[in-house]
Structure 1
Amino acid sequence: MAGGTAQVEERDLSASAFHTLVSFRLSAAGPRPGLLVVPPLSGHFAMLMRDVVIGLLPDFDVSLLDWTNVRHVPQPFGSFGFEDNILTVERAIRELGPGLNVLALCQGGVPALAATARLAEEAPHRAPQALVLMAAPVDPMANPTAVVRLIRRWPMLWYRMGAMAPVPRGFAGQGRRVYPAATQLAGLRAYLARDRERDGELARKFRADDGADPGVAPFGDLYTSVMDVDARHFAENLEQVFHICAITKGRLTCRGRTVRPEALQHTTLITVEGALDDIAAPGQTAAAHDLCIALPPRRRARIVVPDCGHFGLFHGRPCRERVLPAIREHLLSAG
């Protein structure tokens, strides 16, 4: 595919009100290893990971959890919480079958690690062959950034009460309490303004888009296209991941059972961090290695990408030229 084009087959494998599991594979390609991409459920659409999917397709059949904008989900379907996120990832892994690789980005990381840990303990033959955690705040206090400090500055009561709003009339989900896309967009614009002051990675991407196909998917559109997030998930994610750091304290539970990363024994764990990441700084993702104490050294890899920030890990030239080749090498040798 380098420098050219290829036909890609896309199909929906399964769905709920809150997600669709989508499959992508190269047409006329032979059998490939499977890889599940778990995007963060934090306000951006899964389209933000387009460069990752395109970059991995030559070597893998790629599936992706495409989260639904909950403003379109009627209230009778109920709410969607952090535990539901874990269980959705777990069901996708089970559905895609043995030998699967999983790649989780940012706030998709803790649910993916939790789902893998549950499978390793309850159904080891269904646990992923490899788990890649990219810029994931497994332990945000390992190297707290300004973003982490800001999240922890406000009590959880403020997030549950002050940060939420009902979906307005005219949408299928009217009345559902959400963290609104408009609030998310205001925060993203503020972050961009600060980055422009220091001419950071994000500012440079807006000035010179280095994505795989900026004519079709401009980075500015990917960055500013946001969705409503169910209020329950938004609050529980902040509480479990950033406020009480539940998985590092042994306090994360799912369906009444404690999540035990130490149950991982046969899954290769690969952590990927950007040396200049000011959202999930180096150390936050690599903390997963300290939790997965039963893994032997041959089933561990820590990748720290020099001169790379948060967005370069999954978009643009650093992603294509440094991140994905390193991930591909480890995954293809992980069997």
Structure 2
Amino acid sequence: MMYHAYQAHADVMWPLRTMARAAVPMLLDDSLGLGGHPPHRQVAAACEVMRLAEMTHRRPDWGISSVRAQGREWEIAEEEVFHAPFGTLRRFVKVGAPAQPRVLIVAPMSGHFATLLRDTVRTALQDHDVYITDWLNARDVPLSEGRFGLDEYIEHVMRFLEVIGPGAHLMAICQPCVAALAATTLMSEDENPATPASLTLMAGPIDCRVEPTAVNKLATTKPIEWFEKNLISRVPWRFPGGGRRVYPGFVQLTAFMSMNKERHLNAFRDYYVALVEQEHDKAEATRTFYEEYMAVADLPAEFYLETVQRVFQTYDLPRGELTFRGRRVDPSAIRRTALVTIEGERDDICAVGQTLAAQDLCSRLRPYLRTHYVQPGVGHYGVFSGRRWQHQIYPLVRDVIHVSA
């Protein structure tokens, strides 16, 4: 019923939001003599705030048309290299560029689309041939495609690496660090030719027993049955994935925003003021962030529940009890893949030490194949986006990849 109630509210609000969107150009139309008047700007700004506060369920465009590297501008072309039921292996091609190390970025499946990593991709494109796991919104995946749990996630990572071919590098951001480490372990154990040459784990919950954050503690306050009963819903039949059990993206977004309610309220208020005062650059920065942030994707129920239970409640990987299709995952099998672990000093989602735990689990890895770095002064998102990612973290990751290539 939760999903149906949400959709009913969205349907009721649709005409009002549509009118608000249509009103803005008219209210600011200089040819009608309206654009310069403060009352009209105030009404238009209110309409814009209403538009920006709307949750959407479509992946935003990547918007990466070119990148500057090696002293010149390169045109970027997107390619769908491989399509699986729950995600696409997407490649960003620098048209005419020479061969460079291939990197697969594993995006989180955490209520947002992979485009949340746009800055990660754009930065990595300077020196690499970049691929990404472009996960689909679960409400658009028909029931006939079956389940998607943690095992299927790991399988997707391994399959994508095999499609890219031997010698590729793997970079996991946040939540998928567990799956990426498991995939690398299994491929190393099997001596798979497509085993990644390097594995970069960034702000990921490898061992949530280390300095638990508020997010970690929340997962342990209730039994897994509570999460299933209260947070899982079925997609309405009007959508392609009708009937599929999901953890709705709107629930995840609401939870995230409630953690920093004042900050988001202030941001929308400042956005309104910036529009009224015609501070276009300031307004554009807020608009860009929230257009991405308000685009939500539903998670398959199996994946969400298994992640909560096996990663955040029972800590299967660090306790040596994580299994894949009944097979134990033992990271000590990794012996030739260079390991990089990155953390943010002020990360309130994945605390310092949780990602570092991967270094201890990969106990047979030689010292020269290990790198760990804590970035001072950044929170969770600053690990993979923004100035410090671009100028301090990325060069370190790039150098390890190029040495391992």
How many angstroms does 1:216 deviate by? 11
The number of aligned residues is 326
Structure 1, unpaired ranges of 5+: 209-213
Q: Give matches, 1:185-224, under 5 Å.
A: 185-193=253-261, 218-224=288-294
- Change in Cα spacing, 1:316 to 1:4, as seen in structure 2 (3 Å) is farther
Instruction: Tell me which protein shows more helix as a share of its residues.
Output: 2
Distance 2:389 2:294 in 1: 20
Asked if residue 235 in structure 1 is aligned to residue 305 in structure 2, the reply is yes
Q: SS of the residue aligned with 2:121?
A: helix
Amino acid at match of 1:58: Q
Normalized against structure 2, the TM-score is what? 0.76
How big is the alpha-carbon RMSD for the aligned residues of Structure 1 and Structure 2? 2.4
Q: Deviations over 1:112-161 (max 9, x none)?
A: 00000000001253311000000000001112111100111111001112
How many angstroms does 1:169 deviate by? 2.8
2:362 matched residue in structure 1: 292
How many angstroms does 1:195 deviate by? 5.4
Distance 1:321 1:246 in 2: 35
Structure 2, unpaired ranges of 5+: 1-67, 275-283
Q: Deviations over 1:227-250 (max 9, x none)?
A: 111111100011111011111111
Normalized against structure 1, the TM-score is what? 0.92
Does the 8 A contact of 1:71 with 1:228 survive in 2? yes
Amino acid at match of 1:190: S
- Change in Cα spacing, 1:124 to 1:78, as seen in structure 2 (3 Å) is closer
Amino acid at match of 1:150: L
How many angstroms does 1:82 deviate by? 0.7
Amino acid at match of 1:327: V
Q: Give matches, 1:248-287, under 5 Å.
A: 248-287=318-357
Q: What's the % identity of the aligned pairs?
A: 38
- Change in Cα spacing, 1:123 to 1:216, as seen in structure 2 (3 Å) is farther
Does the 8 A contact of 1:141 with 1:284 survive in 2? yes
Amino acid at match of 2:184: T
How many angstroms does 1:196 deviate by? 6.5
How many angstroms does 1:194 deviate by? 5.8
How many angstroms does 1:224 deviate by? 2.4
Task: Choose from 163, 166, 186 the match for 1:118.
Answer: 186
Distance 1:181 1:293 in 2: 37
Decide which structure has the larger Cα Rg and report it. Answer: 2
Asked if residue 333 in structure 1 is aligned to residue 397 in structure 2, the reply is no
1:6 matched residue in structure 2: 74
Distance 1:109 1:262 in 2: 16
Runs of 4+ residues deviating >6 angstroms: 214-217
